[in-house]
Amino acid sequence: MSERPLKALLVSYLFPPVGGAGVARVLKFAKYLPKHGVDPTVLTAENPSVPVVDASRLADAAGLRVIRARTLEPGYMVKRAVWNAADGSTKAGGGGSFLLSGLRLLLVPDPQVLWQPTAQWRLARVLRSEAFDVVFISGPPFSQFLLAPAARLWGRVPVVLDYRDEWGTVAAEYEMGGITRRWSARFLEPLCLRAARAVTTATPAFREALLARFSFLAKRTVVTLPNGYDPEDLPQFLPDPPSDRFVVTYAGTVFRLTRPSGLLRALGRIRAEHPDLATLLDVRFIGRVVETEQRTLADAAHLGVRTLGYMDHSAALAESARSHLNLCLLSDAPGAERIYPQKIFELAHIGRPILTLAPLGALAGLVGELGLEPAIHPEDEEAIAEYLVSQLRRFQAGVGVGTHTMGGSEKRFSRDRLAGELANLFRSLRDPQARRSITK
């Protein structure tokens, strides 16, 4: 008789119809886990306070059981206005600064903590009425990790905490972060970790940093499970890009960790030194641009830079396929050396050339592993300009648009295979040896 499927409860504040890169990890796990003997149920927010939505992502969630709990957060625009006002009042020393800063201090470790009252209630209700084999909680937002102790209490079920990003880096570099990082990562993070049975991380560098920060963690319980690509998302063929201009595309959010300052300086250098080539450039930014970066990109319009706004996932991938060159950006910020963006896996499999701008670290190493062109430091405007000029001269000479094919090693990054690895981790938690604490 075949073994019964494991029942897994996947918790993610970000889930369709929410848009953006952070949605894909849990969505794709949920999509492919049934192929590997796991029956997933998803607990998510009913009315998430988020900047973008992407209804096209709902196709991957078809047939999944999804439980939605309301958050007490205001709409995203209201939330952002309050956050910005607190920043402005603090810097100006206005009379409202104390009240607004106090409000932000209550939202620890992030504004999504206002989802906790209903999420805790729904979690307790589900775990008391059904027998789950594992609870998988993916952050950010890291306030979700506060559900780990509750899962142990109500369901006596093993918990896996999933780090799509790092708690401290999110607090320091992402929107609506910063003020709570002084102590939330120091006190709340270890509390949540001690309630877990295992941890998954999106990069090996995340794993090593986590083990270095928390000496109580047993190495065997912290597993790297990278992001990847879903072949069903990718264009089935590569359309011809325009012949009258050289199209460079960045698809993703522009914020502190993807600030294109070095690229823009390189474009200015090309315009000054090679004006004939500069007229061929059509540099497109597809996706949300946070307020702090909007003026910079607007001022670069004379360099051939355009912002096209947010597109749904399939449309953005189609635009990448129609490009001569795609960009993968990562600023030289603290913690960035441990990150590789999810987008790199999809771009690698689309097959167009990729200009990777990243500091020495995880992403630079990954593009080498995948056989892509070496990464350039994001602030090395001379090297960036030199690379772009070489590509523009090829284009001007009528050389066909470049493509690349992947070898065999990249297949380990398929979403199907990664879901299988997660299923194996879930099964391992049935082993009596795995019932020991996450601590050494």
**Owner of token pair 């494991």:** 6
Each residue's pLDDT, cut to its tens digit, for the chain (440 residues) gives 357 889 999 999 999 999 988 999 999 999 999 999 999 999 999 999 999 999 999 999 999 999 999 999 988 887 777 666 655 544 445 444 545 555 555 677 888 999 999 999 999 999 999 999 999 999 999 999 999 999 988 778 999 999 999 988 776 655 555 555 556 767 889 999 999 999 999 999 999 999 999 999 999 999 999 999 999 999 888 889 999 999 999 999 999 899 999 999 999 999 999 999 999 999 999 999 998 899 999 999 999 999 999 999 999 999 999 999 999 999 999 899 999 999 999 999 998 999 999 999 999 999 998 888 899 999 999 999 999 999 999 999 988 766 666 555 557 899 999 999 999 999 999 876 655 667 76
C-beta of residue 297 within 8 angstroms of C-beta of residue 290: no
Q: Where are the beta strands (DSSP E) in 152-192?
A: 159-163
Quote the tokens at residue 212: 């270095």
Quote the tokens at residue 15: 């889930």
> CA-CA distance, 53 to 46, in Å (whole number)?
13
Give the 3-state secondary structure of residue 205: helix
* 58 alpha-carbon distance from chain centroid: 18
pLDDT number for residue 114? 93
> CA-CA distance, 43 to 68, in Å (whole number)?
6
Give the 3-state secondary structure of residue 68: strand
Domains 6-77+106-228+414-435 and 231-396 share a fold: yes
pLDDT number for residue 92? 47
**Owner of token pair 């997933």:** 40
Superfamily name and number for 231-396: Glycogen Phosphorylase B; (3.40.50.2000)
The DSSP call for residue 146 is G
Domain 6-77+106-228+414-435 belongs in CATH node 3.40.50.2000 = yes
pLDDT number for residue 75? 87
> CA-CA distance, 298 to 307, in Å (whole number)?
8
> CA-CA distance, 176 to 242, in Å (whole number)?
39
The domain limits of the chain are 6-77+106-228+414-435, 231-396
CB neighbour list of residue 241: distance below 8 Å, 6 or more residues apart: 247, 322, 323, 324, 401
Taking phi first (over 0 means left), then psi (-120 to 50 degrees means alpha), and beta for anything else, what does residue 191 get? alpha
- What is the secondary structure of 283-349 as a DSSP string? EEEES-B-HHHHHHHHTTGGGTEEEEE---HHHHHHHHHT-SEEEEE--S-TTGGG---THHHHHHH
Q: How far is CA 229 from CA 86, 171, 316, in A?
A: 39, 27, 14
C-beta of residue 193 within 8 angstroms of C-beta of residue 199: yes
> CA-CA distance, 129 to 60, in Å (whole number)?
27
pTM of the model: 0.92
